[in-house]
């Protein structure tokens, strides 16, 4: 796992008139000056790494100047990630804290958390790093966090995980979905390959769901639950998330079987000793950035209104880009799990995320997108390569004519059920929840993908194998009913329509059995 790195410790620490006990702060977490000097000496003995390290703490002179003007998402992601490491320069010094310790203690104590959030000089140095020395970079992190944090919170809440865990991807990956550590940990939550597979992530030649910020958050929630069940303490679970269960167990044994983070602290790896303090500081940043006159930076070309489709066929991202006019770069950013730009949807449906502004054109031109398959994929199946013969026609079946209706397409769902829209939900998130296509969800409820939905609104979700017809130019309701030999009234009722309802090319009409 990755962790915000080296901290230069100050040589003195002064706790003002009230004690840590009266402020609800764990006394064991208070700074020990001799311990700080010992750790600082060990850090100073590290080889001086002059090359560029983790980019939250790096930018060229030109890039630094551009912060005031705003940056596009590609530049921000480049600034906020480095696959090699995320430690600070060994000789880097921190400015004096702009707040007295009493203020930090009061604020941390006031944060609503069931996780022990200690305060000591190590924590303070991380806070100073985030809100003072690296304030501009932190503001871009906050800009990303405005999009990602609500998603993290919703998923963590589903698994009954403390919402404070939303801060882990900040110190793990600086909210980069594609960052890879030197050890191979990948994605926002920095999963190793085997751990990711163990917690349900698909990882193969084409797909790496460690890079999918939604799928990986589900996996991280499951993993954190496992760690908490094992250690019975969220702080130890956080440490184990960084260095592994076995390492924490060994530290517990070396500490005389004590099961308190600050008791086992000297026996943990160097990066893990900084991990919990960085976690506290990241939560402090999210909560109190305004008090430090900071604000989330608006990121140029960072589309946050997204719809999700389930793709049940093999598809190249370039096919989509060519037809709907969305840049391949943007498609890759929204779908980083596809390592080779290929959605291998033949084994099962996979998710495709596109900006909401492109939803209508995607639905309208879906068939055109599929028609490009032969350009990108060649069949590897060869039938009778030597003596291939044409199949004999079965003359007991009448030949098809222009009047023969096209075979209706089908969508796989279950028996109809009702979903009540919750706060913050969109059509895309609801489609994702039920693993159905957004276009099908819209067809079932006779709405457009751009329709605004409201909390409390009811949406029908279907599930059995259901036939449907894609409306073409010139279609009308009666002609469609006749074409498929179905009752018009039954078709209208199934689609919540009347005889006066207008048809839109690309719209899907469910057909009664």
Q: What domains lie within the chain, and their CATH numbers?
A: 27-292 (1.10.530.10), 306-376 (no CATH), 409-511 (3.10.350.10)
Q: Specify whether the CB–CB gap between 115 and 292 falls below 8 A.
A: no
Per-residue pLDDT averaged across 272-289, rounded? 92
- Is the pLDDT confidence value at 326 over 70? yes
Name which residue leads in pLDDT, 424 or 486: 486
pTM to 2 decimal places: 0.64
Dihedral sign for Cα atoms in the order 352, 185, 89, 128: positive
Write down the pLDDT at residue 378.
67
Q: Specify whether the CB–CB gap between 440 and 476 falls below 8 A.
A: no
Confidence of residue 25 (pLDDT cuts 50, 70, 90): very low
Confidence of residue 69 (pLDDT cuts 50, 70, 90): low
Confidence of residue 273 (pLDDT cuts 50, 70, 90): confident
| Separation of CA 294 from chain center | 24
- Is the pLDDT confidence value at 28 over 80? no
Per-residue pLDDT averaged across 103-112, rounded? 95
Look up residue 321 and give its DSSP letter: H
Confidence of residue 299 (pLDDT cuts 50, 70, 90): confident
For the chain, helix, strand, coil in percent to 5 are 45, 10, 45
Name which residue leads in pLDDT, 430 or 294: 294
**Rounded to whole angstroms, how far apart are CA atoms 175 and 238?**
17
Per-residue pLDDT averaged across 318-326, rounded? 92
Sorted by sequence, the CB contacts under 8 Å of residue 198 that are 6+ apart come out as none
Strand partners, 309: 352
- Is the pLDDT confidence value at 466 over 80? no
Write down the pLDDT at residue 334.
92
- pLDDT above 90 covers what percent of the chain? 37
Q: Where are the alpha helices (DSSP H) in 256-298?
A: 261-264, 270-288
Name which residue leads in pLDDT, 409 or 295: 295
Confidence of residue 91 (pLDDT cuts 50, 70, 90): low
Q: Where are the alpha helices (DSSP H) in 92-244?
A: 101-110, 121-128, 135-158, 168-173, 193-198, 213-231, 234-243
When mean pLDDT is compared over 248-252, 296-300, 364-368, 499-503, the highest value belongs to: 248-252
Per-residue pLDDT averaged across 130-158, rounded? 91
Tokens of 137: 């970079």
- Is the pLDDT confidence value at 286 over 80? yes
- Is the pLDDT confidence value at 43 over 60? no
Tokens of 331: 């498609």
pLDDT per position as a tens digit, 231-254: 999 999 999 999 999 999 999 999
Helix axes 135-158, 213-231, angle to 10 degrees: 70
Nearest 10 degrees: Cα torsion 432, 435, 436, 439: 20
Q: Which single residue is written with the structure tokens 């939303």?
A: 166
Write down the pLDDT at residue 373.
81
Per-residue pLDDT averaged across 246-271, rounded? 92
Write down the pLDDT at residue 379.
54
Q: Which single residue is written with the structure tokens 């890079």?
A: 211
Cα–Cα distances in Å, from 234 out to 154, 311, 414?
19, 38, 39
pLDDT per position as a tens digit, 399-435: 344 444 445 554 444 456 788 888 778 888 788 777 7
When mean pLDDT is compared over 177-186, 212-221, 307-316, 388-397, the highest value belongs to: 212-221
Q: Where are the alpha helices (DSSP H) in 26-100?
A: 33-44, 61-66, 73-79
**Rounded to whole angstroms, how far apart are CA atoms 315 and 320?**
8
State the chain's mean pLDDT as an integer: 77
Which of the residue ranges 33-47, 147-161, 291-305 would you say has the lowest mean pLDDT? 33-47
Per-residue pLDDT averaged across 464-475, rounded? 73
Tokens of 507: 């719209």
Helix axes 33-44, 270-288, angle to 10 degrees: 110
- 399 class by beta-carbon count within 10 Å (0-12 exposed, 13-18 middle, 19+ buried): exposed
Write down the pLDDT at residue 284.
96
Write down the pLDDT at residue 474.
76
Residue from 123, 116, 59, 54 nearest 94 by CA: 123
- Is the pLDDT confidence value at 370 over 90? no
Greatest Cα-to-Cα distance within the chain, rounded to the nearest angstrom:
98
Dihedral sign for Cα atoms in the order 334, 337, 341, 342: negative
Dihedral sign for Cα atoms in the order 371, 374, 377, 382: positive
- pLDDT above 70 covers what percent of the chain? 75
Q: 327 — phi, psi (to 5°)?
A: -65, 145
Write down the pLDDT at residue 281.
93
The residues annotated as belonging to the active site are: 172
């Amino acid at each position: 796992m990755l962790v915000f790195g080296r901290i230069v410790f100050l040589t003195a620490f002064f706790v003002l008139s009230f004690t840590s006990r009266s402020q609800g702060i764990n006394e064991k977490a208070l700074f020990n000056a001799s311990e700080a000097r010992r750790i600082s000496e060990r850090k100073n003995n590290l080889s001086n790494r002059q090359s560029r390290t983790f980019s939250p703490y790096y930018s060229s002179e030109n890039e630094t100047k551009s912060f005031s003007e705003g940056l596009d998402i590609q530049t921000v992601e480049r600034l906020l990630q480095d696959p090699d490491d995320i430690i600070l320069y060994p000789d880097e010094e921190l400015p004096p804290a702009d707040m007295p310790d009493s203020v930090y203690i009061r604020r941390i104590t006031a944060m609503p958390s069931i996780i022990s959030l200690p305060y000591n000089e190590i924590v303070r140095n991380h806070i100073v790093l985030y809100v003072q020395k690296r304030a501009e970079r932190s503001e871009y992190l906050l800009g990303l966090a405005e999009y990602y944090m609500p998603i993290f919170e919703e998923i963590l809440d589903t698994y009954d995980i403390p919402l404070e865990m939303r801060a882990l991807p900040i110190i793990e990956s600086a909210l980069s979905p594609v960052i890879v550590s030197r050890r191979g940990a990948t994605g926002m939550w920095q999963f190793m390959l085997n751990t990711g597979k163990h917690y349900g992530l698909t990882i193969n030649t084409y797909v790496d769901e460690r890079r999918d910020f939604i799928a990986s958050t589900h996996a991280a929630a499951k993993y954190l639950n496992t760690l908490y069940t094992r250690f019975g303490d969220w702080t130890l679970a956080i440490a184990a998330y960084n260095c592994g269960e076995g390492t924490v167990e060994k530290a517990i044994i070396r500490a005389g079987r004590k099961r308190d983070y600050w008791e086992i602290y000297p026996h943990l790896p160097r990066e893990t000793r900084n991990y919990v303090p960085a976690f506290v500081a990241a939560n402090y940043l999210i909560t109190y950035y305004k008090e430090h006159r900071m604000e989330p930076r608006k990121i140029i070309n960072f589309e946050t209104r997204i719809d999700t489709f389930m793709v049940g066929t093999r598809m190249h991202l370039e096919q989509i880009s060519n037809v709907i006019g969305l840049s391949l770069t943007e498609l890759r950013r929204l779908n980083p799990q596809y390592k080779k730009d290929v959605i291998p949807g033949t084994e099962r449906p996979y998710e495709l995320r596109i900006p909401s502004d492109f939803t209508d054109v995607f639905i309208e031109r879906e068939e055109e997108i599929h028609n490009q398959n032969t350009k990108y994929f060649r069949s590897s199946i060869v039938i009778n390569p030597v003596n291939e013969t044409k199949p004999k026609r079965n003359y007991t079946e009448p030949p098809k004519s222009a009047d023969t209706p096209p075979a209706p397409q089908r969508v796989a769902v279950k028996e109809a059920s009702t979903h009540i829209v919750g706060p913050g939900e969109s059509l895309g998130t609801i489609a994702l929840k039920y693993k159905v296509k957004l276009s099908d969800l819209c067809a079932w409820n006779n709405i457009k993908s751009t329709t605004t939905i409201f909390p409390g609104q009811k949406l029908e979700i279907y599930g059995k194998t259901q036939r449907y017809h894609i409306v073409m130019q010139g279609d009308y309701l009666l002609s469609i009913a006749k074409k498929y030999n179905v009752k018009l009234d039954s078709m209208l009722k199934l689609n919540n329509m009347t005889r006066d309802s207008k048809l839109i090319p690309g719209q899907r009409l469910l057909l009664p059995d």
